[in-house]
Structure 1
Amino acid sequence: MRIKNLILLLIIFSSLATYAQDMAEYTSGWEGTLKNPKTFNLKVEIKNLGLEKARFKISNNKNIIDYPFNSKRTSILEIPFAENYSFKGILSENGKEINGFIKSGMLLYHIKLTQSKSSTFIGAWNLLMLDELKSLNFYLSVENGEGDDYQAYPILGDNRFTGTWCDNFQKEKDLISFTDFKTGLHFKGKLEKNKIQLSILLGNHLLTEIELKNSITDWKIGGFKNDNKNSILKLTEMEYLISKDSFPNTHSVVISKKGKIEYENYFDGYNSNIPHDMKSASKSISSAIVGIAKDKLLFNSVKQSIFDFLPEKYQTRKDSLKTKIDIQSLLTMSSGIDAIDYGINANPKSSATENNYQRTPDWIEAILKAPMIHKPNTNANYGSANPALLGVAMDSVISEPLELFIDKFLFQKLKISNYIIQTDLRDKPYFGGGMYLTPKDMLKFGELYLNKGKWQSKRIISKNWVEKSFKNYRNLENVTDKNGYGYLWWHNTYQINGKNIKSIEARGNGGQYIFVIPCLQTVVVITSGNYRNGKTQQPEILFEEYILPYLEN
């Protein structure tokens, strides 16, 4: 009897110890090693297409998901293959490929599935945007631990991955869980003495497991060798300065002239296969989608009020001034809404900046309730709320899913398939920025506009739309250089040998640039990672001082 009582007491104490775990004890840096550099490079398959018993499969070095679905009599494949994950796609007219998107977290990953000899459609999903990890180091920063409260942030040794946006931190007994709402990855950890057993999942489907131990040395992040190539154009001085960190965090430079690539180089381990976060540079792609919709007569005029396109629930925000917000005012950053992303004029509480409206459950409601500071089409102030409204407008006039329209009428025509679209809270493409394209595909987009809407002699966007897009409507009042602005395209002028060289540019935070230089028949793409060091405009210096002189020769 005495032994039984002792066993019972041990069980009770063990149980109490489990319940009493304090996250303060785990507030620290943790590290482990991934087992495979292609853990997050997933094979996607669709088998038995056209039959009731079709299957959607995802695997890496093991089977992860095998989801049965009925594929008969459907024009658009919609496959909810796991909780909060889905695939949506369309079979091509020749029946040989499926183009679609995996919705995971805040991202729409474009997937191109090609028919194999066995009639299975096969494609790839690079969940972390990378073709392969260069480092297997995995780190976890557990922060602000107290009782059951904490935050946890996974960090890869391969810093070419743009990072996680984690939330939904939960704890029950010795188990913790949280989600990266950007990629959709789910993390579950078992707290043990001096270690954390961490599982990484797609929904409830295991991708991999890692044993994490307390970090005792500094984390090894990045530091990868350049993947430089031989190019026609020799930019040795620029390359030297990049290698010496005079132009830090430069990831790529790609240049074409008259449609032919003259220069292509990658730095910090980047390569031609990695889609880069374009940030706001993809606003110019949003402009192209508006143009394609206009060319297809899906709406009548850029002079139409935004309220012609908005759902009924937003009509209460219409007043005598806001009803004058039209498509053109949104394209030119001239809506008049207090949506200023930069500068000292924005009201920190009532303005519709990204920092404000993206923290609300309804982004469009938050934008529309912001005060007006100008009459529409009079003053231009840069702000992402303007193209965000454009996205809602285009979604209302396009009958098919917006992302499939974008793919069919723009990216497929440019032969672009390795890309990602960021969504808003409605799970729709976000027109304010955040697409991921490879630098060479960014170059194709620039060439499309350089050639006034044609690519490889095929018309994609009307010449009229491109000309209107490149027109300088008015100067941006809230940026330092007071740049001219078109339909979500920037204007700038550079000097070389006493000559002024005009450039039309797509620009994104951190240093993402597409320079279109009509007078030189040239497109230059520079991607970077200068998000918090004040060097976001570094590509302009690179272009003017170390690239432009060679383009002039």
Structure 2
Amino acid sequence: MKFQHLLILFSFVSIKFGMAQNMTDYNGAWVGTLSNPKSFQIEVSIHKFGTERATLQLSTKTQRTSFPIGNNSDPEFTIPISETQSFQGTRSEDKSSISGFMKSGLLLYHITLKKTANNSYSGVWNLLMVEELRSDKLYLSIENGDQETYQAYPFFGDDRFTGTWAYDFQKQQDTLSFSDFKTGLQFRGVLQETKIILELFIADHSMATAVLSRTDTEWKRDGLTSEKRASKLSFPELEALILKDSFPNTHAILVQRNGALVYEQYFDGYHENLPHDMRSASKSISSTLMGIAKEARLYESVDQSIFEFLPKEYQSYKNSENAGIDLKSLLTMSSGLDAVDFGENANRASSATEDNYQQSADWTASVLQAEMLHPPNTHANYGSANPYLLGVALDSMVPHSVALYMDKMLFQPLGITNYIIQTDLKGRPYFGGGMYLTPPDMLKYGTLYLNKGIWKGKRIVSEAWIEKSLTPYRALENTTKQNLYGYLWWHDAYQVGNQTIKTLEARGAGGQYIVVIPELDAVVVITSGNFRNGRGQQPEKILENFLLPKLID
């Protein structure tokens, strides 16, 4: 992965010791309190844009860092901040705003910079995705410590932040350093005899500190709650079960019927302005972008081979068996590659499973070198490598940034501004599943498909593409229910009394569902956090046993 090294540094206050500490003595759990849990909200501003004296500034309440950017009048521009940081954006035609992305680690944080003065623009970047941490607790687990080696995993008390992916564990004398390749956070520091003192940095400026002490107490997330909302529909039994953890880790439920929001409820501290990890539910958005690109004539047909769009260095992987992998086969999980992520057809040793190619230095090469199980467009097996290759293809089609293209062609027309995109190693949006949208914005996206590509009277996606996307092509052979599958859209059916209700669904691991129900003129959004407890399909029970009976009543 494209690991980021300079955006944010966690360091321990330096204290000199005569001898290096043995990491065996630091194994276990540590806990401390952040001095300023609100410091993760960063102001991003561009001053004197379009002039030789233009600068980009990153500011907190206590620090400000400026980066000269010079005269840049291109419609789409990139501002290097450091070797591992950048801002890319585009200014609106009326020059009232700049829509762009702060790149940090694997994430592209969308930010809208509003004009504040003559050629100056300003916006807010929420590094940890939440507007502010509701818990000041910081936990650190040090594992496998032995002399100079160890692993260290930080956790925030406010678990609405989806967490860090720590790696690159280093130690020199009493100084530790490790990184988070998702957000770009870095940790470094000095060990004291009984404490670990953390200090937070961004662009080499201090933001917050935490003094960690050992703890034998089991870590528990802080019990965050959400404000109860009044809605046209009510589900008291369902809400009681959620609060009792009978439906654990349910974060949001939204129901729209006949164009009106009839139910909206949040739980565990989540709310309407917090982008939620969609996981593979964002695969469906990848399909939408391929449809928009086709309408714009960036390619001619879904029957074109993927090799027509791959960079030169990957053409050597083409052979008589995989040459027939076309865009349609990737859209329908029917490439034939040994890229089956789960189920009885999965080969855990294949280089094209998501768990394996994401650990490699070159994801595309790892996918393409896999064996073919079937000829393309004959069998469907769910595997993220299929849409991943679509992202590589679209990157070769658009003239500049895929992220900016996505923003301009899909999200701006939908009025979606508060979102985050996960990238691959090359900095491209990861089409295998990696976006964070708020539940109301997920509802907008589902409504776009319910209305056959139209949003508020404006066509965003062609009706022909919507129809093809929602056509059932083949059954996913590695799924329990053998669900029919369209262009990265699931088909399902639910039994409510004597009535069978057919649905079209964008689904993501952990329980992220956007459910389009044409026969009821309804859209349902459910977000959850069941990533490791086997309850990822819990929304289906909520839908069938509670929501659908009320909608057809």
Contact 1:305 1:325 in 2 (8 A): yes
Structure 2 partner of 1:466: 466
Shift of 1:120: 2.6
State the distance in 1 between where 2:400 and 2:442 align. 25
Shift of 1:385: 0.3
Structure 1 partner of 2:230: 230
Contact 1:515 1:525 in 2 (8 A): yes
For the pair 1:494 / 2:494, whether they are aligned, the reply is: yes
1:282-301 equivalence runs, <5 A:
282-301=282-301
State the distance in 2 between where 1:312 and 1:441 align. 38
More displaced 10-residue stretch of structure 1: 125-134 or 329-338:
125-134
Shift of 1:108: 0.6
Structure 1 partner of 2:10: none
Runs of 4+ in 1 over 4 A off after TM superposition: none
State the distance in 2 between where 1:361 and 1:140 align. 28
Secondary structure in structure 2 of the residue aligned to 1:542: helix
Contact 1:84 1:203 in 2 (8 A): no
Shift of 1:218: 3.1
Q: Aligned Cα RMSD in Å?
A: 1.4
Cα 1:71–1:255 change in 2 (3 A) is: farther
State the distance in 2 between where 1:375 and 1:227 align. 52
Q: Deviations over 1:53-105 (max 9, x none)?
A: 11211122222422121133333232122341110001100100000111100
More displaced 10-residue stretch of structure 1: 203-212 or 278-287:
203-212
Structure 2 partner of 1:401: 401
Structure 2 partner of 1:144: 144
For the pair 1:251 / 2:233, whether they are aligned, the reply is: no
State the distance in 2 between where 1:101 and 1:33 align. 30
1:362-377 equivalence runs, <5 A:
362-377=362-377
Structure 2 partner of 1:183: 183
Structure 2 partner of 1:357: 357
Contact 1:71 1:77 in 2 (8 A): no
If the length of structure 1 is used for normalisation, what is the TM-score?
0.95
1:55-74 equivalence runs, <5 A:
55-74=55-74
Shift of 1:50: 1.3
For the pair 1:517 / 2:549, whether they are aligned, the reply is: no
Q: Deviations over 1:355-390 (max 9, x none)?
A: 111111000100000000011000000000000000
For the pair 1:271 / 2:250, whether they are aligned, the reply is: no
Secondary structure in structure 2 of the residue aligned to 1:349: coil
1:414-425 equivalence runs, <5 A:
414-425=414-425
State the distance in 2 between where 1:187 and 1:71 align. 35
State the distance in 1 between where 2:511 and 2:269 align. 17
Shift of 1:400: 1.6
State the distance in 1 between where 2:218 and 2:118 align. 50
State the distance in 2 between where 1:72 and 1:308 align. 33
State the distance in 1 between where 2:454 and 2:495 align. 29
Secondary structure in structure 2 of the residue aligned to 1:506: strand
Structure 2 partner of 1:5: none
Structure 2 partner of 1:96: 96
Shift of 1:200: 2.5
Shift of 1:119: 4.7
Structure 2 partner of 1:302: 302
More displaced 10-residue stretch of structure 1: 220-229 or 291-300:
220-229
Shift of 1:146: 0.8
Shift of 1:204: 3.2
Q: Deviations over 1:502-538 (max 9, x none)?
A: 1000000000000000011110000001111111000
State the distance in 1 between where 2:24 and 2:511 align. 38
Secondary structure in structure 2 of the residue aligned to 1:410: helix
Shift of 1:403: 0.4
Secondary structure in structure 2 of the residue aligned to 1:230: coil
State the distance in 1 between where 2:321 and 2:228 align. 54
State the distance in 2 between where 1:154 and 1:134 align. 17
State the distance in 1 between where 2:18 and 2:256 align. 62
State the distance in 2 between where 1:324 and 1:228 align. 53
Structure 1 partner of 2:313: 313
Shift of 1:29: 1.2
State the distance in 2 between where 1:108 and 1:321 align. 36
More displaced 10-residue stretch of structure 1: 200-209 or 260-269:
200-209
1:106 maps to amino acid: L
Q: Deviations over 1:483-510 (max 9, x none)?
A: 0000000000011121111100000000
Q: Deviations over 1:130-179 (max 9, x none)?
A: 11211111111111111111111110110111110011111111111111
2:422 maps to amino acid: Q
1:93 maps to amino acid: E
Q: How many residues align?
A: 539
Secondary structure in structure 2 of the residue aligned to 1:31: strand
Structure 1 partner of 2:479: 479
Structure 2 partner of 1:527: 527
1:278 maps to amino acid: M
Structure 2 partner of 1:8: none
Contact 2:36 2:208 in 1 (8 A): no
Shift of 1:19: 3.8
1:404 maps to amino acid: L
Structure 1 partner of 2:4: none
For the pair 1:214 / 2:214, whether they are aligned, the reply is: yes
2:484 maps to amino acid: G
Structure 2 partner of 1:344: 344
Structure 1 partner of 2:427: 427
Secondary structure in structure 2 of the residue aligned to 1:197: strand
Structure 2 partner of 1:443: 443
Cα 1:386–1:310 change in 2 (3 A) is: same
Q: Deviations over 1:174-226 (max 9, x none)?
A: 11111110000111222112111212233534332222122243334232113
Shift of 1:117: 4.3
Structure 1 partner of 2:26: 26
The gaps in structure 1 that reach 5 residues or longer are 1-13
Secondary structure in structure 1 of the residue aligned to 2:73: coil
Shift of 1:107: 0.5
Contact 1:18 1:173 in 2 (8 A): no
State the distance in 1 between where 2:64 and 2:282 align. 33
Contact 1:330 1:389 in 2 (8 A): yes
Q: Deviations over 1:332-374 (max 9, x none)?
A: 0000000001112222223411011111100010000000001
1:190 maps to amino acid: V
1:371 maps to amino acid: E
Contact 1:450 1:518 in 2 (8 A): yes
State the distance in 2 between where 1:548 and 1:160 align. 28
State the distance in 1 between where 2:138 and 2:432 align. 31
Structure 1 partner of 2:120: 120
For the pair 1:327 / 2:327, whether they are aligned, the reply is: yes
State the distance in 1 between where 2:487 and 2:117 align. 46
State the distance in 2 between where 1:113 and 1:18 align. 50
Secondary structure in structure 2 of the residue aligned to 1:323: coil
1:523 maps to amino acid: V
2:133 maps to amino acid: L
State the distance in 2 between where 1:99 and 1:533 align. 38
State the distance in 1 between where 2:393 and 2:63 align. 41
If the length of structure 2 is used for normalisation, what is the TM-score?
0.95
State the distance in 1 between where 2:454 and 2:444 align. 10
State the distance in 2 between where 1:440 and 1:137 align. 29
State the distance in 1 between where 2:253 and 2:220 align. 26
- Of structures 1 and 2, the one with the larger relative CO (CA 8 A, separation 6+) is 2
